[in-house]
Structure formats: C-alpha cells, structure tokens
Amino acid sequence: MKKKGFKSISYKLVLYITLIVFLVSIFLTGASYFFSSSSLEESTSDAMKNIVQQASLKVSAELSKHFNSLAATTQDEIFLDMYANKDLILARLEKVAKENDNFDMMVSDPTGQSYSLLADSIEISGRVYFQKAIKGENYISEPLIRSGDDNLVVVYAVPIKGRDGKIIGTLSAVRNAAELTEMVKEITYGEKGSAYMIDSQCTTIAHKDYELVMNYDNDIKTAEKDPEAAKKLAELISLERKMMAGETGVGEYSYGGTEKYMAYTPVKGTTWSIALTAPKSEVFQQITRLTIILATIAILCLVLGVILAIFIGRGFKKPIQLAAQQAHIFAGGDFSKDLSDEYLKRKDEIGVLAESFQALTENINELVSNISIASEQVATGAKQISDSSMELSQGATEQASSIEELTASIEQIASQTKLNAENAKNADTYASDARVFAAKGNEQMEQMLKAMEEINISSNNISKIIKVIEDIAFQTNILALNAAVEAARAGQYGKGFAVVAE
C-alpha cells in the first residue's frame, strides 16, 4: 500500500537528472554569453579602431592627392610672374579645374591680392587658408558658404615658390564640400554603423546626413544653448572633446535613446578628427544568435536527459519494487518465499540487496526454528517450576505460624523501646537545664574576674599615690631640717627659719 504523497525512485531520478541538466545548461549558456560578450566587445573595439584608422589614412590620402595636384601645377614657370602671365595662368587653371572637378581656382600674391577663374580681383589676406599657405603650409579650410549659390565648399591652398625657394604667392582650389561627406559615407560598420568628421571647433564637416553639415551642427554649442540637450549629449561631447584634442581611442555613448560604440582618430595633415559609430544592438546581434543556438542546444540536452533518466529510472524501478514487495511479505510474517535468481546473480548493488534479503530470509527461518525448539524446552521447565511452587506453598504455611510468634516478640520489644525513648527524653531535658546553669555560672565567673582585674588596677594606682605622698613628706622633712640648721646659725635673726622648721 502506497503512502500519501508517495513518489517513486524513477520519478525522483528523472527529476534530479532533469534539474542537473537544466542547471548545467543554464551555467554553460550564461558562461558562453559572458565570455562571448567580452570577446565580441574587445574584437569590436579593435575592428572599429582599425577601420577608423584606415578611414583616416584614406581621407588623408585623398586630401594629399589634391594638394599634390596643386603643388605640381605651381611648378610651371608661368607662376613665377602671376601678373605678366595672367592669361597663361588662367588657361592652365581652367584645364586643371576641369580635370579635377574644381569649382574655381585662384592665384594670390604675398599681400593676398588674387584673381581666379570666376573673379578678376579678390582680396583674401584675411582668410585662414591664405595665411597658412603663405607661410609654407598645405592647408584645407573648413566648409564655407560659397557666395552666389549658398553651396558649401572647401578651399585647398598651397604655397608657390620661386626659383630660390622663397614663397612668392599661393595657389588655391575651391571644391565641393560634399566630397568630404562622400568620403565618410564609404566608411561603414555592419548595417547601421557610419562615420563622420568634425573640425577643431567640434563643427560637423562630413556626415551621412548632409543637413547637419549644411547647418554647421556643433554639439558643444547646442549644449551651451540648451541645458536639456546638454544632459543628453554629455557622453558624446566628452568623446568629441577627445577628438578635438587629437586623441585616438574607443568609447561608448547614448544618443537618441540608442547605445552606441565609437572609435575615433585624427586626420593626418589637418585639424580634423574622424569617428566611426555603431549601435550596440547591431554589434550584439551575433551574441543574440549565439544565445538562441545555445538555448536550443540546452533544451535538446534537457529533453535527452529526461529520456535517458526515464530509461535509467525504469532499470532501477523493477528490482527496487521487487525488494519492496519482499519486505512487505516479511512484514506479514511470511519468510518462506525466496528471491528470483535473476536478481541474485546481478553484479551490482541490486544483486547485493537481493543477496541480503535472501540471507535475511534464511536467518529468520533458522531463528523461527530455534524459537520453536526453545518453546518446547520452556514448557518442560514451566511444569517443573509448577511442582516446585506446590512444595514452596506448603513450606510457607509452616513458616506463617513461626512468623506470628515472632510478631508477638517484636511487639514486646517495641513497648520496651518506647519506654527507653521516654527516659532518654527526660535525660535530655535535665542535660539542657544543666547547660543553662553552667552558662550562667560561667557568665558570673567572668564578671567576678573582671571586677578583680579592676580592683587590681585600682590598687596599683593607690600604691603610686602613696609613693608620691611619701616623696613629698620626705622632701618636707629635709626642708624643715635645713630651716632648723639655718635658724641655729642665724641666732635671733633666724626666727623666721625656726617658724619654717616647726
């Protein structure tokens, strides 16, 4: 009969194996996700850093190509005298402009006086690109609004050198600023990763959203004007400040509710910096796929574990049920049934259990046989004890009369003992009175001794007083004797001494 809440061994085995497989699967999935995430983050950072550095080199190379084209143009002898050879120079510039898709090209003297394909006379001494080029630097300007059509342009400027190597002017090329955006559009990471460039003032000069370039988007200035925007752009601005400082690195920021990675590096030969950004969600898509795969594998392992546990449980269940049935038979008092040889011959714990049950059966049968023999012996002994009891009963009757006589003697002794007790009580009373009288006598004796001691002390004091009086009398006698002697010497003049002597 099964107890209430009974759960079989096979059920528990399936449950435990399922739990173990589940926990192991969870652990392996979690560990795989953690290590994969760490590895992916590291590889993503390295990959984005490599991409943005390659992009920086590509942009720098593209800029260098235009600078080299301008520098090669300035090697023509006609640029040694920009005014005398103006027509030749303009013809040459027109050809170069068509070959390189330049909007305009311009020649300037050391004072900034210039002419171009589109203007006969221009003064550009205040332009940064002229100031840099006249000092010997190749320089590209930030995007500028082109007068006339409001298009954004960039100006490439290089120095013109004379035969002695001294700078005698500058050559500039005006190009569409959108080409910078076209450069960064080619730089991607995954499906949504993109690049952009900022100048030394954090103004966007290239972005896939060209409207930001047209509007001179500047996150720092936006944050200064709008405190709410400052909070949203704080992480991005922190990274852009590092870009402005010419640093190379990788970071994370949140923009428009999207968590993103950013890799950044400066563009060689400029004050610009280029950045590559990518959403974290896209980066971790691979991890999500891996997690799904691992979860699927874990579920399959769990199912296989359950199936395996069921088969194993069934293998254990039958012999254990047989052992339980055998124990139930034993509980009913039947020890005559032997176990099957199928289980007795097994070479595992089930076989050991079967052998133990078989040995128990044999031992109990032997014990029952011994108990039966002992029962017969006990019955014989009981009969002998019964006979002995009859004899003891007769002896007990005879002893009863002797006990009555003994009882009478005991009563007499008890009476005498009572009398002795009363006499002892009286003796105790007399002894108590004697102790009281002795105590009083002792107290009076102590008082007498104390009085005698006081008398002795007083006697000593009186003796001292008498001795003092005797000393005074002795001194008085001596004084009288001296007075008599003096009176005798003085004659009639010594009457006073005679009075003293008396």
Q: How far separated are the first and last CA of the chain, in Å rounded?
A: 147
Question: What pLDDT, on a 0 to 100 scale, did the predictor assign at position 242?
Answer: 96
Cα dist. 214→95, 145, 177, 340 in Å?
29, 9, 10, 95
| Tokens of residue 434, six digits | 């004697």
* Lowest model confidence (mean pLDDT) among 92-96, 196-200, 304-308, 434-438: 434-438
pLDDT class of 179 with cuts at 50, 70, 90: very high
Question: What pLDDT, on a 0 to 100 scale, did the predictor assign at position 494?
Answer: 61
Question: What pLDDT, on a 0 to 100 scale, did the predictor assign at position 164?
Answer: 92
Instruction: Encode pLDDT of 278-290 as tens digits.
Output: 998 876 666 666 6
Query: Percent of the chain beyond pLDDT 70?
Result: 66
* Lowest model confidence (mean pLDDT) among 33-37, 92-96, 155-159: 33-37
Q: State which H helix or E strand residue 502 sits in.
A: none
Residue 303 has pLDDT above 70, yes or no: yes
pTM of the model: 0.55
Residue 305 has pLDDT above 70, yes or no: yes
C-beta separation of 113 from 126 below 8 A: no
Q: How far apart are CA 159 and CA 172, in angstroms?
A: 9
Instruction: Encode pLDDT of 49-74 as tens digits.
Output: 999 999 999 999 999 999 999 999 99
Question: What pLDDT, on a 0 to 100 scale, did the predictor assign at position 38?
Answer: 64
Q: How large is the angle between the packed helices 9-73 and 86-100, nearest 10 degrees?
A: 160
Question: What pLDDT, on a 0 to 100 scale, did the predictor assign at position 73?
Answer: 95
| Tokens of residue 164, six digits | 């002695």
C-beta separation of 152 from 145 below 8 A: yes
Instruction: Encode pLDDT of 354-379 as tens digits.
Output: 667 667 666 766 676 777 776 777 66
Greatest extent of the chain over all pairs of C-alpha atoms, in Å: 188
